[in-house]
Amino acid sequence: MSPSNPLTLTEFDLRRLDALFERLRLHLKPPPTLTVLERELERAVVVQPDEVPSTIVTMNSEVEVTDLDTGERRSLTLVFPSMAGIESGRVSVLAPLGTALLGSHQGTDVTWQTPRGARRLRIESVLFQPEAAGRFDL
């Protein structure tokens, strides 16, 4: 994400992420990605869940992405840490990739850092977004 392109976040996701941050700080040494995610959330455009465009990646959204370096396409679901499992395509919001996906728009490219350098994906489509499906409890 670039400063000129702030992420869009629902008020519901913001509340749940704030609660997650609080729990992490009370019980564990926070992961380094927490600070990055918190900075992104500070500049987010926050909307009500029923007002978020269906092309925005929210929590529990499933997206189809293309790896811009390899051309590989796959589906990923953005989840809270307890539900993560990269082998099943469930990416934690605390993982660098998850942080990059949150609040991004369909059709945009996201970049995140790995130990081997920067990786890039294009969000081809939002296959499922809870809010667009009328699921305000996910």
Is 65:74 a contact under the CB 8 Å cutoff?
A: yes
**1 belongs to a structural domain:** no
Share of the chain above pLDDT 90, in %: 66
**56 belongs to a structural domain:** yes
pLDDT at 5: 67
Q: 114: domain range?
A: 8-128
Q: What's the structural domain count of the chain?
A: 1
Q: Which of 80, 65, 78, 72 is closest to 121 using CA atoms?
A: 65
**65 belongs to a structural domain:** yes
pLDDT at 90: 97
pLDDT at 26: 79
Other beta carbons within 10 Å of 82: 7
Show the low-confidence residues of the chain (pLDDT under 50). Answer: 1-3
